[in-house]
Homo-oligomer: A and B are copies of this chain.
């Protein structure tokens, strides 16, 4: 009897071990496929080169919708859909011009870019004296008498000592998002914001800003970090200098755009949906390569790899290219709204919107008992150097889904270079490294596959 029990216990462990081996083999197959196939990388190149300027509401954005719709149609997926979304339409207008004008030191041109949703200066541009501040508290102390009629220059840098560059970004971002209204409260006529990057270069970094309705709307631009350092040094030398900038951006009527959705139907629980997505819109300063063409193409690549390896997921796997992440997040909201209207069952959602550098790991916001099992997945990723499995995840586009209880997750790549390119002219296809990008695709495919396979 005892021998028979031992025999079954042994059998149990052998089956466990062989199951783990099968899992490891499948993940290795994901990585092998990703690292030897250039489809996704070429798709990304197409998206970047042919649909540069795909800011939400633009013609290029509409083109990117058609491109990705057709791309997924051609893959013979089980379903491909364009989901209509009403989006804002802000246009940049002519290339921005700016200069530091000092009676003592002459005029020096600097690189600026209008902030998204900013009003323009009008074709004459705006010229005024400058007051430099680090934060809103300084603004408050200076008061109206020192600010009225001037341009406020927000020059607080991202903290270079923070290893988590997203935290450094978060610590400096309110100058960009709220600086204009904060300055206008005190009578400022314009706002110049230090670009949100730890790099020192001549690329200005745009990004969305928001006006408070009750406060006059004044034009706002970001200045490159080199430009910001020059302006700050120039002000030390001549506090009476003037800053000139000219922007012709404006907000037009809303238009209809789309989320683009492609899916492989689940073989066991087709009504349970796992979403993996990025956002299709991108600032037109660059090509939207890392932010977030890469996340979109990695999501499509998950489906391609599943198809190529003949993986039949138990649940429906959706790749979603969200529209309008950068401005009003309408795509994410509409996706969640439609999910609710259609009574869809969303089992899990992952967002890839932190660039396509080397994968570091995944974050997940799920109930504790699921979290422990998800964190335990780390063991399968260690051979690939992917070891950061942490509590807490999500993303701008999937957060509305999360509000109705869907477990959320984020793909976390290495982040030291991300803000060099983020929202700038430097965010080009050439900045995306094939192997790093595809290590990400394989990691996401493996993670999604494990979530489905082990019912996590």
Interface, chain A (partner B; CB < 8 A): 31-32, 35-36, 160-161, 163, 198-199, 358, 360, 383-385, 387-388, 414, 416-417, 420, 433-436, 439
A292 to B387, CA, bound (A): 28
Known interface pairs A385-B388, A416-B439, A417-B433; A36-B358 also in contact (CB < 8 Å): no
Tell which of B35, B388, B420 touches A161, judged by Cβ atoms closer than 8 Å. B35
CB–CB A416/B436 < 8 A: yes
CB–CB A414/B358 < 8 A: yes
A249 → chain B, closest Cβ, in Å? 32
A375 → chain B, closest Cβ, in Å? 15
CB–CB B163/A198 < 8 A: no
Lowest 8 CB-CB distances: which A-B pairs, in order? Answer: A32-B161, A416-B435, A35-B160, A35-B161, A163-B384, A416-B436, A36-B160, A358-B414
Q: Which residues of B contact A385 (CB under 8 A)?
A: 163, 360, 388, 414
CB–CB B387/A31 < 8 A: no
A388 to B387, CA, bound (A): 10
Pull 10 A–B residue pairs with CB atoms less than 8 Å apart, ordered by A: A35-B161, A36-B161, A163-B384, A198-B435, A358-B414, A360-B385, A385-B388, A416-B433, A416-B439, A417-B436
A160 to B414, CA, bound (A): 21
A433 to B433, CA, bound (A): 14
A36 to B163, CA, bound (A): 12
Q: Which residues of B contact A436 (CB under 8 A)?
A: 416-417
CB–CB A383/B161 < 8 A: no
Q: Can you add 11 more A-B contacts, CB < 8 Å, to A36-B160, A416-B439? A: A31-B163, A32-B161, A35-B161, A36-B161, A160-B435, A163-B385, A198-B435, A199-B434, A385-B388, A416-B435, A420-B433
A35 to B420, CA, bound (A): 15
